[in-house]
């Protein structure tokens, strides 16, 4: 005698079929939406990290020169910090409130950048005429170090350091 519990004799409850179907559909939808989010924010593998580093450094200084506060707010990562050559520093909010006036700038010849996944570290130098919070800075080629993070389909400036000009 066949068991009444065998798969062929078990009645499938319409409610159970519906629940299993909804769970499978939800899982499939979740996988599709996760896949599309990941694909749209995929980190690019840079063929020439230094060329991208130069573009990002120029974008940063140009935003400052143009006093474009909206572009600066968009360009800075949420965790942004700056360390200045004079020993002062600022968080993102403090930096956005800083009065910076740049009359001219020139990037140095060499820009060296290294990509590691979603981060890009850029070593560069800058000759700049600027006034920060009413104080004129000296005009000399000075080193910079910037770290960018890939976020929301673009590179965002995560941290930046200004150094004193070389003494040689």
* Tens-place pLDDT, residues 79-112: 999 999 889 999 999 999 998 888 889 999 999 9
- How far apart are alpha carbons 46 and 110 in whole angstroms? 18
pLDDT band at 30 (very low <50, low <70, confident <90, very high): very low
Give yes or no for a contact between 119 and 95, defined as CB atoms under 8 angstroms apart: no
Pairing of strands 119-132, 142-151: antiparallel
- pLDDT tens sequence across 150-166: 999 999 999 999 998 88
Average pLDDT over residues 30-54: 71
The pTM of this model reads: 0.72
pLDDT of residue 5: 52
Per-residue pLDDT, 128: 82
**113 contacts: CB under 8 Å, gap ≥ 6:** 46, 49, 50, 52, 53, 54, 120, 121, 122, 123
pLDDT tops 80 at residue 35: no
Beta-carbon contacts of 50 under 8 Å, excluding residues fewer than 6 positions away, are 111, 112, 113, 122
Query: Which is nearest to 61 in space by CA: 75, 42, 77?
Result: 75
Q: What is the pLDDT of residue 117?
A: 97
């Amino acid at each position: 005698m066949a068991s009444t519990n065998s798969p062929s004799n078990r009645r499938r409850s319409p409610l159970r079929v519906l629940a299993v179907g909804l769970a499978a559909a939800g899982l499939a939808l979740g996988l599709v939406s996760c896949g599309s989010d990941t694909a749209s924010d995929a980190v690019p593998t840079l063929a020439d990290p230094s060329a991208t580093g130069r573009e990002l450094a120029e974008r940063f200084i140009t935003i400052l020169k143009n006093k474009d506060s909206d572009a600066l707010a968009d360009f800075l990562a949420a965790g942004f910090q700056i360390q200045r050559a004079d020993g002062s520093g600022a968080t993102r909010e403090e930096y956005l409130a800083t009065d910076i006036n740049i009359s001219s700038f020139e990037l140095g010849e060499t820009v060296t950048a290294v990509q590691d996944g979603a981060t890009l570290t850029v070593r560069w130098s800058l000759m700049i005429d600027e006034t920060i919070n009413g104080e004129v800075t000296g005009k000399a080629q000075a080193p910079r170090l910037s770290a960018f993070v890939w976020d929301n389909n673009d590179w965002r400036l995560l941290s930046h350091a200004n150094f004193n000009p070389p003494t040689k």
